[in-house]
Amino acid sequence: MSAPLTFLRRPPAPPPTGASAAPPTALAALPASGVAIAVSMVRPRTLERLCADTPARAAFWSTTLHDAALADWLAPLRPTRLHVGSEFCERLLPEPEQLARTLAEASAAGLEVGLLTPVASPEVLRALEPLFALLPAGAEVVVNDWGVALRLREFHPLLQPVAGRILCRMLKDPRLGNPQYAPPAAHGFASPWQQRLFARVGITRVEMDMPLFAGADSFAGVPLPLGVHLPFAFVAKGRMCRTAGLARPGPERFAPRPFCHHECLGLAARTERARDGTHDAWETLHVGNTMFCRHSAASLAVLAAAVAAGRVARLIVPGEAL
Amino acid sequence: MKIVAPIRQLDEIAALARAGADELYCGVTPREWAERFGGASANRRPGGNLPSLAALAEAVELAHHNGVQLSLVLNAQQYSVEQIEFALEIARGYADMGGDAVIASDPGLILALAEAVPGLRIHVSSVATCRNADGARLYQELGARRLILPRDITLDEAAEIAAAVPDLEIEAFILNDGCVYEEGSCNTLHLPGALGGPICLDRYAYVHRHRDGRPLSPALAARLQENDAAYRRWLWYRFSCGFTTTAEGMPFGPCGLCAIPALGRGGIHALKIAGREGPPERKLASVRMVRQILDAHERGESPAAVMTRARDLRPSHEHCATGFMCYYPEVVGEAERARETARHSPPTSPVPTSD
């Protein structure tokens, strides 16, 4: 993205415990209706804990998200959806047998299933076909590639494409410390051309990350039911995977042709750049081919207010610890 | 195959055309754009633009005078409604100048361009991250005439897309300027160097851990440390071997010259040299390099001979062998074998450059 230079100003160092552990700004309670929680998992398990009572869910969220205040906020609302697969990596699609098992387990737990799909190579398109065939009519497919969306419209019209967060391009550079740059960092869903494109491929729901400097207008102008990811925004993703370098020596160690043993399912890295006594405003981490940043407590408070105001139809929360 | 090269100033046009470029591309950020949108660039490279619409008009005229086409880059990842409207004004003016094509990424802008300036060719930017034939078909339906593939694509994938959408021209990267993250999935800024530069080159410290909180075993920690070191080596290659050149100004990687025979077989229409923000000497050397290897391929030299010729352009055999300098590292083994064979054969004759 292009950069005017006037906005650059480094913030003061955050408290030593990091942004996520900062004293929570008051979160408006989740309404009992009007908003749903979807849990995203690459390899779903422990669904029973998600569907148990509030204390069990609070414990689950606390363990998974490492944020007690956020866990307490989410816990009263029982998740109704499970999103399985990966938005970020073509190597993390489920095998058909895995998806069939997940569909059965989710059904038993009272969860509707959506399939997460990444930017798609030709090989990914081929791998998706047997997965689409397993999904029941009306099931959602979160698409992060226009080719996948077109394919759904043409060959699987009973499945419901949802525009994923990779298609929602907006500035999310965690090194920026000045909210004056927030306006140009907004989502582009309000564009009439974008809306026509959504209609053309049958997209009726959209997802986005929280903007870096979320404000009252951050979720305005979205023409379709909106899902918002929390508490992590993806900053950047590659096709090349640093973690997959563990699996393959030689010329193609960091090459686009993907190969790995799914090392990223077990490993992650906290990343930090401390320079000249200052720190970035946002906590960052690296999982597989993707860099994430964690929302601040203040951003979550803005999201909670948007939920209370009915602007957000769905919260999407990772069910696996990053 | 056509050679597509970047410019950011008018005096590059004639030299690059003489060196063998078939098409050029440029950006422009008029002052009014900067004033209206807070200084934001109209495209992905704020430091690589012509300064005004008047300069753009002159560039179109100069390019045509020198027998090459000129494309205009409007490839920010996403534009606001106001920015799309302004971009359409620029595109209309550019069409009136006789401009050849607009390179765009935002699907909303592509849709708007096709309707508002129907006579103007649309090339889908690599920033669109279109990596499959269905996506290519959608862009074609929206009005695109060419798809520039993203950097991270394999030769097989490129050929499969080209075969599946034969009426859409396919352009592939051939030289310079690697990105770590996919351009269309990187939501960051190239900050000034003092503030960190591109995020993929910023000095992040990595503290690895198990996601479930278990401590790393010493053996795994050592493997991760070795992997980090290899990654940093790869990064050095990915960014042109520390942004170095030969004494003659030829840039080191990222490079796809060895893959030209495979790209030709795969139905690729155009070869993209990246680096609008680079110095003129690097652009000129880049065009000469690609022209030399492409000419050898088009003259009918065997793929093995072409690969050997490509590797002999620069004193970079050891670098080439790592594969880290390659856009298409899957050809490394093939190129190594070709070079070994060539060492036991009479040398190939040099191919004159077009300049």
Q: What is the pLDDT of residue B293?
A: 98
Asked if the C-beta of A220 comes within 8 angstroms of chain B's C-beta atoms, the answer is no
Lookup result for tokens 């008009």: B57
Q: What is the pLDDT of residue A179?
A: 64
Contacts of A270 in chain B (CB under 8 A): 206-207, 209
pLDDT band at A23 (very low <50, low <70, confident <90, very high): very low
> Is residue B29 classed exposed, middle or buried when 0-12, 13-18 and 19+ CB atoms within 10 A define those classes?
buried
Asked if residue B278 has pLDDT above 80, the reply is yes
Asked if residue B267 has pLDDT above 90, the reply is yes
- Comparing A119-123, A133-137, B323-327, the range with the smallest average pLDDT is B323-327
Distance CA A103, CA A263 (A): 25
Three-state DSSP state, B338: helix
Asked if residue A107 has pLDDT above 50, the reply is yes
Please give the average per-residue pLDDT across B52-75, as a whole number: 97
DSSP secondary structure string for all residues of A15-69: PTT-GGGSPPPPPPPPPSSS-EEEEEESS---HHHHTS-HHHHHHHHHHHHS-HH
Residue whose C-alpha is closest to residue A270's, from A287, A285, A292: A285
- Tell me the ipTM for this assembly: 0.91
> Is residue B262 classed exposed, middle or buried when 0-12, 13-18 and 19+ CB atoms within 10 A define those classes?
buried
Instruction: Decide: B285 and B36 in contact? Cβ < 8 Å.
Output: no
Please give the average per-residue pLDDT across B5-13, as a whole number: 97
* B197: nearest CA partner in chain A: A175
Asked whether the beta carbons of residue B81 and residue A191 sit closer than 8 angstroms, the reply is yes
pLDDT band at B21 (very low <50, low <70, confident <90, very high): very high
Asked if residue B354 has pLDDT above 70, the reply is no
Please, what sign has the CA dihedral across residues B256, B257, B263, B269?
positive
Which residue in the set A236, A253, A273 is minimally distant from B186, CB to CB?
A236
* Amino acid at the residue B287: V
Q: List the single best residue of A125, A169, A273, A285 to mutate versus B (max B Cβ within 10 A).
A: A169
Instruction: Decide: B172 and B193 in contact? Cβ < 8 Å.
Output: no
Asked if residue A132 has pLDDT above 80, the reply is yes
Strand partners, A316: A38, A229
Asked whether the beta carbons of residue A275 and residue B203 sit closer than 8 angstroms, the reply is yes
Q: What is the pLDDT of residue A258?
A: 76
Please give the average per-residue pLDDT across A100-129, as a whole number: 97
Please give the average per-residue pLDDT across B147-158, as a whole number: 96
Asked if residue B217 has pLDDT above 90, the reply is yes
Give the CATH H-level superfamily of domain A34-42+49-232+295-318.
Aldolase class I (3.20.20.70)
Instruction: Decide: A219 and A315 in contact? Cβ < 8 Å.
Output: no
Q: Which residues of A169-184 are buried (b: 16+ CB within 10 A; e: fewer)?
A: bbbbbbbbbebebbeb
Contacts of A287 in chain B (CB under 8 A): 211
Please give the average per-residue pLDDT across A108-122, as a whole number: 97
pLDDT in tens, A205-220: 999 999 888 887 888 8
Asked whether the beta carbons of residue A191 and residue B157 sit closer than 8 angstroms, the reply is no
Distance CA B119, CA B341 (A): 50
pLDDT band at A235 (very low <50, low <70, confident <90, very high): very high
Q: What is the pLDDT of residue A239?
A: 94
- Comparing A24-33, A235-244, B136-145, B176-185, the range with the smallest average pLDDT is A24-33
A99 phi and psi angles, rounded to 5 deg: -65, -40
Please give the average per-residue pLDDT across A1-21, as a whole number: 41
Distance CA A112, CA A25 (A): 32
Distance CA A290, CA A43 (A): 18
What is the pTM for the complete model shown? Answer: 0.92
Asked if residue A89 has pLDDT above 80, the reply is yes
Asked whether the beta carbons of residue B212 and residue A250 sit closer than 8 angstroms, the reply is no
pLDDT > 70: percent of chain A: 88
**How many Å is the Cα radius of gyration of chain A?**
19
pLDDT in tens, A154-180: 999 999 999 999 999 988 888 887 666
Q: What is the pLDDT of residue A232?
A: 96
* A177: nearest CA partner in chain B: B195
A290-294 and A232-237 beta bridge pairing: antiparallel
> Please, where are the H alpha helices in chain A?
47-50, 54-65, 68-74, 96-109, 122-134, 146-155, 192-201, 297-308
Distance CA A304, CA A287 (A): 26
Please give the average per-residue pLDDT across B297-313, as a whole number: 94
Instruction: Decide: A209 and A294 in contact? Cβ < 8 Å.
Output: no
Q: What is the pLDDT of residue A277?
A: 58
Residue whose C-alpha is closest to residue A202's, from A144, A169, A166, A159: A159
Write out residues 129-158 of A within 8 Å (CB-CB) of B. 145-151
Asked if residue A9 has pLDDT above 80, the reply is no
Write out residues 187-216 of A within 8 Å (CB-CB) of B. 188, 190-194, 196-197, 201
Three-state DSSP state, B346: coil
Which residue in the set B132, B187, B204 is minimally distant from A169, CB to CB?
B187
Q: List the single best residue of B73, B122, B157, B189 to mutate versus A (max A Cβ within 10 A).
A: B189
pLDDT in tens, A254-291: 988 778 999 999 999 999 886 665 667 788 999 999 99
pLDDT > 90: percent of chain B: 71
